[in-house]
Amino acid sequence: QVQLVESGGGLVQAGGSLRLSCAASGRTFSRYAMGWFRQSPGKEREFVAAFWWSGSGTLYQDSVKDRFTISRDNAKNTAYLQMNSLKVEDTAVYYCAADLLIGSALRSTTAWGSWGQGTQVTVSS
């Protein structure tokens, strides 16, 4: 498994931006698919964005597709989630995940084997 640590969360006004980081341990980071999920109080954890190991393909939840960008820097063993035009409904704890996944499994909240501890994102109106 991969050890993951998220950072970059905080409080921002609606319309603002944040960039989340997910630092991963291990020398084989580039082989892993990386994903971002979020969970709001009283709701189930939901898929936000992911890319598979090569970084050549990405998936997004429809509600964030034109506002969020997922990326990775294999040299730094770090994945990022750039979040622009934030909305109040984006408020949640954001988690990164890693595993050797492809295809539709990337959207699943149960398929990923490694998870970070989460970082809080709060968007105020």
CB 24 within 8 A of CB 2: yes
28-64 in b/e form (b: 16+ CB < 10 A) is ebeebbbbbbbeeeeeebebbbbbbbebeeebbbeeb
pLDDT at residue number 66: 95
pLDDT at residue number 27: 66
**What is the spatial distance between Cα 49 and Cα 37, in angstroms, rounded to a whole number?**
7
Question: What are the per-10-residue average pLDDT scores of the chain (125 residues)?
Answer: 93 98 85 94 95 79 96 91 98 95 87 95 97
Query: What 3-state class would DSSP assign to 100?
Result: coil
pLDDT at residue number 54: 65
**What is the spatial distance between Cα 37 and Cα 92, in angstroms, rounded to a whole number?**
9
What DSSP letter does each residue of 24-81 carry, written as one string?
Answer: E-STTGGGSEEEEEEE-TTS--EEEEEE-TTSS-EEE-GGGTTTEEEEEEGGGTEEEE
Token readout for 103 is 């295809």
pLDDT at residue number 64: 97
**What is the spatial distance between Cα 56 and Cα 47, in angstroms, rounded to a whole number?**
19
4-7 vs 10-13, strand pairing mode: unpaired
pLDDT at residue number 125: 95
